[in-house]
Amino acid sequence: MSISAFLCSFWSLDSDEVKQISTAIFLVSVVTFALFWFRSKVRRPSLPPGPRGLPLVGYLPFLLRNIHRTFADLAEIYGAVFKLRIGNKLCVVLNSPSSINEAFRHHETVFPNRDTTVCALLCSYDGSGIVFTQDGDDWKKLRKIFVRKMLSKSFLDASYSVRRQEVRKVIKGVFESAGTPIDIGKVGFLATMKSVLAMTWGDSGRLIGEDGIDLDVKFRAVMDELAVLLGTPNLSDIFPILGWFDLQGIASRTKKAMRVCDEILNTAIEEQRKTGGNGVVKGGYLQLLLELEDDQDNSNPITDDQLKALLLDMVIGGTKTTVTTIEWAMAELMQHPNTMKKVKEELREVVGLDAAAEESHMPKLSFLNAVVKETIRLHPPIFLLVPRSLTSTITLEGYSIPKGSAMYCNIWAILRDPKVWENPLKFMPERFLNEGGGKYELGGSAMEFSPFGYGKRSCPGIPLAERMLMLILASLLHAFEWELPQHSVLDFDEKFGVVNKKLNPLVAIPTPRLSNLDLYLV
C-alpha cells in the first residue's frame, strides 16, 4: 500500500477506530524506543586490556629476551587475560588456571589449529606431521597412529632393550670421564637422542650410509640445527610481506637442513624396503610406519611426507623437552643437597648398589618422580604453548576475543601462581607427595599442572618422555656422585627458545658410586 492510499483510508475511519490505531502506534513507538535505549545501555563485551605498542610493529620492540617473564609482568598490570599486538597480529595471553579452564573447557572447538611459523611448516613437510597438521581427518588419523601404535604400551615395552642399551653406553662414557668436568646437558642429549634414534631405526640402533658414514651423527646434528631454528624469532612470521626477502635467512637455513634430513630419511626408507624388514631397520618406528603406508586394506594410508613428518615429530619432540628437564633437575638437586641425599637413599633402597637402574624400578621411585614434577613446575620445558588461532569470535572471562587472534598460554606463570602453589618459587618436591599431590600427573587434566598442554592438542609423547626421563636421570644419579668444579657457581638463568634451556650449561664432575664396577661396562 502506498503512503497516499494509507492516508486516504486513515481519514475515512471513524473516531473510535482512529483512537485504537493511534494507541497502537503510540505503544509500538514506546516499546521500540525502550528497546533502543536498553540496547544502548547494555555493555557489549570489549577487547581485553593491554599495552598500546607502536604503529606497525605493535608491542614487539618492548618484548624482552624472556617473553614469558614479560607476559607475567604485564598480567600484574592488566590482569590474567590481556591483549597486545605483535606486528599486525592481535595476540591474547592467558596467565591463570581459571582463564585456561574456561578457554579449553568451553571454547576449544574454535581454536583447533596452531598458529604456525615459516620454519615450522618447512621442517614438518608443509604441516604434514601431528604437531602442525590442521584439525580434520588427517590430524585424527595421525593422532591415532601416534598414540595407539608408536606410543602404545606394547611398543614401548618391546623397545626397552634398545633404550637400555643406549643409556648404558652413555653411562660407560661418563665412567670413562670420571674425575673430569663434563657437560650434563650434552650427556642427557646424547642418551636421549641415541635412544630415540635406536627406536626409530630398529634393533641395530644405527643407520649407516652406503659410504660407511654413520648417518646417526649427521642426523643428530641436523635435528639440533632444526630445534634452534624453530626457537628463533622470525620477522617473516610477524610481517608476512617480508617473507619473500627472508631477512634473517631462517627459511634458507631450514631448507638446507631439511635437504640433509630428507636425504637421510630417504636412505633409511630405501634400506627398509630393500631388506623387507629383516635388515638394519627391523622393528623400529620406520618399519611400523612403512607397514601402515603399504597396507592395501587401509582406505586412508599415510603418505611419504606424513611418514617423515611423524618421525621428525618423534625425534625433535621426544628429545629436547627431556634433555632440558634432565639438566634443570640435576641443577636443582645440586643446589639442594638434602633433597639429593633423599634421592640417593631411595635409589639405594629400591635399586641397590650392586645393580643398575632399570625401567622396572621406576614405579617404585616415588620421591624421584616428585623431583621430576617439581623440576617441571619450576622449569617447564615449554614456557608458552604453541599459540592457537581462533576460527571465530568468543567471549572469554567477560572479554571479546576476535576471530583470527592468536592465543598464548603462559604455562610458566601458571605453574608459579601463588594462588595455587604454596611458596611457588621454592623447590619443594614434597608438595607432590603430600595429600592432594597425587592429582598432578604430567598427562593429567588438572589445569594448574598441565605443562605439556591442554585438550586434544596436548603433547601425545608423554608416555615415552616419562620413561626416558626417569631412566636417564635415575641412571646418572645412581651411578655417580656429582660435584661442581672448583670455584664454579650454580646459576639458574634461562634461555628463551623452543624449549626452556639453561643459559649457561651445567658442568659437573662425576665420581663412580656403584660397588660393582662391571655395571659400568656395556
Which of 1.10.630.10, 1.10.40.60, 1.10.3720.10, 1.10.8.10 would CATH assign to domain 123-381+416-520?
1.10.630.10
State the pLDDT at residue 259.
95
Residue ranges of the chain that CATH labels 3.30.43.20: 42-116+382-415
Query: What's the chain's Rg over C-alpha atoms?
Result: 29
**Residues paired with 507 in a beta bridge:** 183
Please tell me the distance from the alpha carbon of residue 424 to that of residue 455, in angstroms, as a whole number: 25
For cell 585438550, the residue is: 455
Strand pairing category for 399-401 and 394-396: antiparallel
Please tell me the distance from the alpha carbon of residue 348 to that of residue 370, in angstroms, as a whole number: 17
- Are 251 and 119 within 8 A, CB to CB? yes
- Are 155 and 293 within 8 A, CB to CB? no
C-alpha cell at 452: 605439556
State the pLDDT at residue 279.
40
For cell 632444526, the residue is: 226
Residue ranges of the chain that CATH labels 1.10.630.10: 123-381+416-520
**Residues paired with 114 in a beta bridge:** 388
State the pLDDT at residue 393.
94
Please tell me the distance from the alpha carbon of residue 81 to that of residue 66, in angstroms, as a whole number: 19
**Residues paired with 399 in a beta bridge:** 46, 396
Please tell me the distance from the alpha carbon of residue 187 to that of residue 174, in angstroms, as a whole number: 8
State the pLDDT at residue 34.
55
- CATH annotation of 42-116+382-415: 3.30.43.20
At 406, give phi and psi (nearest 5°): -100, 130
State the pLDDT at residue 424.
96
State the pLDDT at residue 7.
31
What is the DSSP secondary-structure string of 261-281?
HHHHHHHHHHHHHHHTTSSTT
State the pLDDT at residue 40.
46
Task: State whether residue 107 is helix, strand or coil.
Answer: coil
How many of the other CB atoms lie within 10 Å of CB of 6?
10
Please list the rounded mean pLDDT of every run of 10 residues in the chain (522 residues).
39 49 52 53 76 92 88 96 93 94 89 88 92 86 90 91 93 95 94 90 62 72 86 87 91 95 88 63 78 76 91 86 95 97 97 96 96 96 89 94 94 94 96 80 84 86 93 97 94 86 94 91 78
Please tell me the distance from the alpha carbon of residue 382 to that of residue 453, in angstroms, as a whole number: 9
Which residue pairs from 248-257 have beta carbons closer than 8 angstroms and sit at least 24 positions apart in sequence?
A: 250/118, 250/119, 251/118, 251/119, 251/122, 253/225, 253/229, 254/118, 254/119, 254/122, 254/123, 254/226, 254/229, 255/122, 257/123, 257/222, 257/225, 257/226, 257/229
